[in-house]
Amino acid sequence: MKKTVCVAIFLFHIGLLSLVAYKGAHKEANKTNKRYNIIFYYERTEGARIMEGTAKDEKITLGDLLPQEINGWKAEGKDEIYDPQTIFDYIDGAGEVYRSYNFKQLLARRFTKEGKPDIVADLFDMETSKDAFGVFTHDLEGEEAGIGQGSTYNGGLLSLWKDRFFVSLYSEEETEDTRKALFALGEKVASSIIKEGKKPDIVSLLPSENLTEKSAHYFHNHLILNYHFYVSDENILLLDQQTEAALGIYRENNEKSYLLVVRYPEVNKASMAYKSFMKSYMPDATELGLVQTEDMKWTAAKLQQDFIIIIFNAPSRFFAKGIIEELEERIKKI
C-alpha cells in the first residue's frame, strides 16, 4: 500500500531538487546565491526489504546502524530500501544528485511519537568515503553539529558523514524536543559506524588562505559544478564519473573568486578537456591561459599533467596568476 506524504525539506534537499532544473534560470541563481524554501511531494512505499551492503571484506546491514527508538520516538513500519534505479520513487528528480556521487543504497526509517512531529532518517551507503564526503559538501549551510566526521544542522535538518555513509535526519516540524532527538539520533548513528573514512586528496590541494569557511566542494560531473558555479550548459570540461573535482570559494577584498581543480584518469583526457574549455570559455584570451572578462574580473586556466586548474572571477591578474602558480607547486609534490 502506498501513501503520499508532503514533506517540507530545507537546505540539503532544496539544493538537490533545485539542481535538476539548473538550466536557464539557474544561471541567475548562481550569481545571486539565493535559496528558496520548496515543498515537494514524494511517495513512500511500505514493506521494503532490508538488504546488506558490502565494503571489501566487511558486511554491514544498514538497518543495524539505526536504533529502533530515540528519546521516545519509535520506528514506524518497515524500513524502505532504494537503489540507484528506484531512488526516484522516493525523492523523484533529486535522486540524480545522489547517483552523481555513485551511491549504492538508501535506507529510510520513519520515527513517530504521540503528539510530536515525525522524524525521518535517510541513511546512504555511498560505497566510498570520498563520495560520502562529497555528497555532504553539496550543501554546507547551517551550524556545525560536531557529529561524525562532518555535520551541519539547520531548520530541523541534521546532515553528517562518516566513513562511506551519508546521513540525513530531519523533523517535519522543528521544536526543542525534535532538535534534541535529532542530535541524539545522529550521535547514535555515528557511534554505530566504527571506522572513519579518508577525505579526497584533491580537496587538500585547495590553498587555505582566503578560503571561505565551509566552501570546499567535491564532485565528479558538470551538473554539480554548475550548481555551485555556472560554467556552461555543455560539458566543456569533459567531466564524468571517473574525474575528481574540488571547488573552493575565496574572498579577496570582499570579492568572491572560485578555484576549480580537476583530476582526470589520464593525461590525454586532461589535454582534450583543456582544449575544449579554452575554445568554448576563453576563446579571446590574449595571454596563454589568462583573460579579463566583461565584468573586469579575471579567469585563468592551466593544464598540468592530468590536472586542470581554473580560477574564475579573480579580482586581479596578480591574484589569478598567483593562485594558479601555488596550485602548480602543490601538484608537483604529489
Integer Cα distance of 168 and 159 in angstroms: 5
Task: Give percent of the chain with pLDDT exceeding 70.
Answer: 82
pLDDT tens track for 73-86: 999 999 999 999 99
Q: What is the DSSP letter of 211?
A: B
Integer Cα distance of 136 and 122 in angstroms: 13
pLDDT tens track for 161-197: 999 999 999 999 999 999 999 999 999 999 999 999 9
Calculate the average pLDDT of the chain: 84
Q: What is the DSSP string of 252-296?
A: ETTEEEEEEEEE-SSHHHHHHHHHHHHHHH-TT-SBTTEEE-TTS
Q: Kindly state the average pLDDT of the residues 204-219.
A: 91
Integer Cα distance of 233 and 311 in angstroms: 19
pLDDT at 55 over 90: no
Task: Give percent of the chain with pLDDT exceeding 90.
Answer: 73
Q: Where are the domains of the chain?
A: 2-192, 201-332
Q: Which long-range contacts (CB under 8 A, 24 or more apart) does 325-328 make?
A: 326/207, 327/205, 327/207, 327/259, 327/261, 327/302, 328/302, 328/304
3-state SS, residue 201: helix
Place of cell 547517483: 99
What pTM value is reported for the model? 0.82
The CATH number fitting domain 2-192, selected from 3.40.1000, 3.40.91, 3.90.550, 3.40.50: 3.40.1000
Integer Cα distance of 84 and 322 in angstroms: 42
Integer Cα distance of 114 and 288 in angstroms: 66
CB-based burial of residue 287 (10 Å sphere; 0-12 exposed, 13-18 middle, 19+ buried)?
exposed
What pLDDT, on a 0 to 100 scale, did the predictor assign at position 102?
94
Q: Any idea which of 17-31, 117-131, 214-228, 270-284 has the lowest mean pLDDT? A: 17-31
What pLDDT, on a 0 to 100 scale, did the predictor assign at position 11?
38
